[in-house]
Amino acid sequence: MEYTVGSIAPIFLSPVIAFVINAFLGRKLPRHGDWLATLSIFISFIFSARIFGDFLFGKFATDYYIHKVFTWFDLSYGTQIFKVDMGIYIDNMSAIMLLMVSGVATLIHLFSTWYMDHDEKHGRFFVFLPLFTSAMLGLVLSDNLFSLFIFWEIMGFCSYSLIGIYNKKEKAGDASLKAFMTTRVGDVFLLLGIVAIWMVLGSVAYVDIYAAIAEGKFTGLSVLGISFATFSALCIFLGAMGKSAQFPLQVWLPDAMMGPTPGSALIHAATMVTAGVWVSLRMYPLMVLGDITWFIAVIGAITAFGAATIATVQTDIKAVLAYSTLSQLGYMILGVGVGSYNAAFMHVITHAMFKACLFLSAGSIIHSVHEQEMPKLGGLRKYLPYTHFAMMCCTLAIAGIPFFSGFVSKDRILGDALYYGFMAGQNPLLAIVPILGFAGAGLTAFYMFRMMFLTFYGENKAHHDDHGHGHHGDHGHGHEIHHEHLDARQNVPLLILSVFTLGFWFCGTLTGQGFGKVFGSKTEWFKILVEAPKVEKFVNSPREPFSKVDSKPEAHLEHAHYHHQTGYAGPNPDEHKLHSAHTIGAIASIIIAFSGVFLAFLMYIKGSVKPWASRFPGFTKVLQNKYYFDDLYIEVIIKKGLLNLNKGLSWFDMGVYDRFAVDGWATVNRWLFKASKWFDNVVVDAIGVDGTGVAVNLFNLVLRIVQSGKIQFYFVMLVMVLASYIWTLNI
């Protein structure tokens, strides 16, 4: 099969074109060109769907990919060769990712056309939304870390613009600054890692890095006292931590909800935050080689658990979702760390679906009720039935209830984590990874249902009684609580996304048969398509321009089947133990999830258990203050540390260095001038030695000119320096 650039480029280019048109002409277009933006992403979706279809239906090979290369610029001269090549690289994983990004983004765009109606920032919003999506699509299409970094940063800029879109709010400015700067901390390390790899290997293309790993080019090198593989892997992972908001760079994500809710949906679901997981997955062989997977797993576990605890006390519906995103991202990173490659990527996809839907639902609520504090909501199920349905599906998914997508992916991650922590013979301290993972899963079920119960169930606490009663029709025709308009632009995205919260889309049936069987394989399609890159495969596949699709149909089928009943990509799995870990994990996570739901039910529906806040007021306060990380970073490190350092340096520069070391010469001159004048008047005149007076007078003259700053000074100095030069060099 031959892919031309023309059949791939529109995925990236059509949103870019929409961005350019909307940026320049948006104001003149009807509806500020929101239809154009939506259409452009839909075009991306169609082209992505075609590629996905080819990969899914056409050939079932694990090493099926498209690779094309262009030279961006070339610095070669003579014997020095340096070219910067950009390329498109599509393998099974990116085919799935492209479909997800463009699909979810299309729905978010469609929803936004409804949500942003009559908003003063409507036009600007639809400038950045397509750019954001195109950057993510470009990132997924990239065949090398350098272009990945470019799109990575453009996404950072887009999120900066979207978070700060309500520019009259001081808080929006703070939040956008915080988001950009926190991710930038990771970004500079990512750039450092890219630079290091580029200069050592001569390329940053994925295929070249894989080949280099297989050929052992990383061995024996060291940077700053640690092995080169560890250094580069760590740098790249630090970048991922910033973008995917992992502990301790998690502080920006909750604030990122200052922007419009559909923007949050895009940031939290389809784009931006998944980029960090994406690069960790792409560079997984390097992470293994650099032996930092344990670090990744621990960071992921801390994030997954810590964010879940904070989410239990949030009252803002978007804040709950923001922390749930953090927590779920923690699971993805944890998955990467414990070698659950397949499931970690599946969690990216399933999470994108249900998290986009959750945010859009939250958007529906906010847009209809104009309230986002959960204690002031309640009983909305009657008024917003579609939203309720969609949100319930997603909550079931994220809570890890069987038959829903979140269960499929998260359970596998946890199963692998269990194996990793207890059975793989690792450091016993790493048992913390599965423990935090399972605890976080229980909390997830709890806080998500807490949100559902507070929002949709119980008494309606919105202030509608001022205007009388009796408006509560079946579909919420109450006027105060702006009833759910039956607007397709709102409902259709929600319903489509909620369909994809079902688990069987991702795993066939629960038994691993069924859906997969349709296409003639016993194994689930996701497991066949996605597996950790096998670096040896890339040794003899150099990065050549316009390579054809490497189609080895059927050849790898059996291999793929063996490979991954589980998707585990860690070191030498003991299949038997792994299998039992998954069984235990599945049972445990079902029990834990249901207990979480039950606890939420007891607390917020039945009221028989007192909520956390009244039980542990001290700990609740800690959680409400997000473990004081914001205070630590902003109040202590930045305000007390960095700003004072800056002030001190600036004062030193102008007040000390410039004042004394530079301008001090003028003062010295002035003293010399005075001294020589005194010498002139007192010593010379008084004593009356005329001969020396001439020399002193000359000196005097020079100093006077120096001090007065006249241009003639130039010529005198010239003569003096020339004279001294000739004198010292004896020329």
CA distance 380 to 454: 9
Q: Considering only CA atoms, which of 301, 361, 323, 395 is closest in space to residue 114?
A: 361
Cβ proximity to another protein, 176 vs 676, nearer residue? 176
d(CA 632, CA 169): 24
Evaluate whether 111 touches 490 at the Cβ level (below 8 Å): yes
Give the whole-angstrom CA distance, residue 444 versus residue 440. 6
CA pair distance 520, 529, nearest whole angstrom: 14
For another protein, the closer of residues 168 and 576 by Cβ is: 168
Q: Give the integer Cα–Cα distance in Å for 569 and 553.
A: 23
> To the nearest whole angstrom, how small is the minimum distance from the Cβ of residue 194 to another protein?
8
Amino acid at position 335, single letter:
G
Answer yes or no: are the C-beta atoms of 361 and 496 closer than 8 Å: no
Interface pick for another protein out of 185, 366, 584, 683 (rule CB under 8 A): 185
Per CB under 8 A, 167 contacts another protein = yes
Q: Closest by alpha carbon to 626, among 236, 306, 181? A: 306
Does the footprint of another protein cover residue 150 (CB under 8 A)? Answer: yes
CB 411 within 8 A of CB 585: yes
* Binds another protein (CB under 8 A): choice among 2, 6, 224, 617: 224
User: Which CB sits closer to another protein, 650 or 667?
Assistant: 650
Indicate the helix (H) or strand (E) that contains 27. none
Q: Least separation, in Å, of the C-beta of 228 and another protein?
A: 10
Which residues, 70 to 99, sit near another protein by CB under 8 A? 72-80, 82
CA pair distance 640, 329, nearest whole angstrom: 31
Length of the chain equals 731
227: contact with another protein by CB under 8 A = no
55 contributes a contact to another protein by CB under 8 A:
no
Which of residues 168, 474, 572, 688 is near another protein by CB under 8 A?
A: 168
Residue 189 sits in the site that holds another protein (CB under 8 A)? yes
Q: What are phi and psi of 71, to 5 degrees?
A: -90, 125
Q: Does 174 participate in binding another protein (rule CB under 8 A)?
A: yes
The residue type of 182 is T
Return the structure tokens found at 281. 């997955």
Determine which residue in the list 572, 608, 614, 728 makes contact with another protein, applying CB under 8 A. 728
- Contacting residue, 17, 39, 177, 584, with another protein by CB under 8 A: 177
Among 1, 637, 717, 723, binds another protein (CB under 8 A): 717
Task: Report if residue 611 touches another protein, rule: CB under 8 A.
Answer: no
Q: How far is the CB of 434 from another protein (least distance, A)?
A: 35
User: Shortest distance, CB of residue 256 to another protein, whole angstroms?
Assistant: 15
CA distances from 594 to 399, 406, 441, 443, 462 (A): 9, 14, 10, 11, 30
Taking the least distance from each CB to another protein, the nearer of 4 and 79 is 79
Question: What's the rounded Cα separation, in Å, for the pair 289 and 228?
Answer: 10
Total of chain residues touching another protein, rule CB under 8 A? 70
We find the least distance from the C-beta atom of residue 729 to another protein, in angstroms, to be 7
672 touches another protein by CB under 8 A: no
Part in contact with another protein (CB under 8 A); list of ranges 39-47, 612-620, 624-632, 638-646: 638-646
Residue 373 has φ and ψ, to the nearest 5°, of -85, 120
Taking the C-alpha atoms of residue 352 and residue 266, their distance in angstroms, rounded to an integer, is: 9
- Measured from the CB of residue 650, what is the shortest distance to another protein in angstroms? 4
Task: Determine, following the binding rule CB under 8 A, whether residue 634 of this chain makes contact with another protein.
Answer: no
64 or 152, CB closer to another protein?
A: 152
Per-residue CA distances from 251 to 242, 244, 376, 622 (Å)? 10, 11, 26, 15
Matching residue, tokens 């050549």: 544
Q: Is 28 in the site for another protein (CB under 8 A)?
A: no
Query: What residues are paired with 142 via a beta bridge?
Result: 88
Q: Choose between 595 and 708: whose C-beta lies nearer to another protein.
A: 708
> Smallest gap, in angstroms, from Cβ of residue 607 to another protein?
43
Residue 199 interacts with another protein (CB under 8 A): yes or no:
yes
Q: Which one of the spans 146-154, 363-371, 426-434, 621-629 is the region binding another protein (CB under 8 A)?
A: 146-154
Q: Half-sphere exposure (CA, 13 Å, Cβ side) for 184?
A: 9
- Rounded Cα–Cα distance for residues 677 and 549 (Å): 89
**Is the bond preceding residue 15 a cis peptide, omega within 30 degrees?**
no
Say which residue the tokens 């600036």 belong to. Answer: 650
Convert 446-484 to b/e letters by CB count within 10 Å (16 or more is b). Answer: bbbbbbbbbbbbbebebebeeeeeeebeeebebebbebb
Residue ranges of E strands in 411-564: none
Q: Quote the CA–CA distance of 274 and 159 in Å, as a whole number.
A: 13
- State the nearest-atom distance from the C-beta of 85 to another protein, in Å: 13
- Taking the least distance from each CB to another protein, the nearer of 231 and 604 is 231
What is the per-residue binding string for another protein in 363-402, x denoting contact by CB under 8 A?
----------------------------------------
Q: Cα angle at 102 between 323 and 85, to 5 degrees?
A: 100
Under the binding rule (CB under 8 A), the answer on residue 191 touching another protein is: yes
Of the ranges 187-195, 347-355, 471-479, 629-637, which one interacts with another protein (CB under 8 A)? 187-195
- Give the 3-state secondary structure of residue 704: helix
Name which of 196 and 362 has its Cβ closer to another protein.
196
Contact predicate 176/184, CB 8 Å: no
The contact mask relative to another protein for 684-713 (x = CB under 8 A, - = no) is -------------------------x-x-x
Least separation, in Å, of the C-beta of 640 and another protein?
14
- Which of 536, 544, 658, 685: binder of another protein (CB under 8 A)? 658
Which of 467, 552, 606, 647 touches another protein by CB under 8 A? Answer: 647
Out of 619, 653, 664, 701, the residue judged to bind another protein by CB under 8 A = 653
Chain residues in the site for another protein (CB under 8 A): 72-80, 82, 146, 149-151, 153-154, 157, 160, 164, 167-170, 172-174, 176-177, 180-181, 184-185, 188-189, 191-192, 195-196, 198-199, 223-224, 642-643, 645-647, 649-651, 653-654, 657-658, 661-663, 709, 711, 713-714, 717-718, 721-722, 725, 728-731
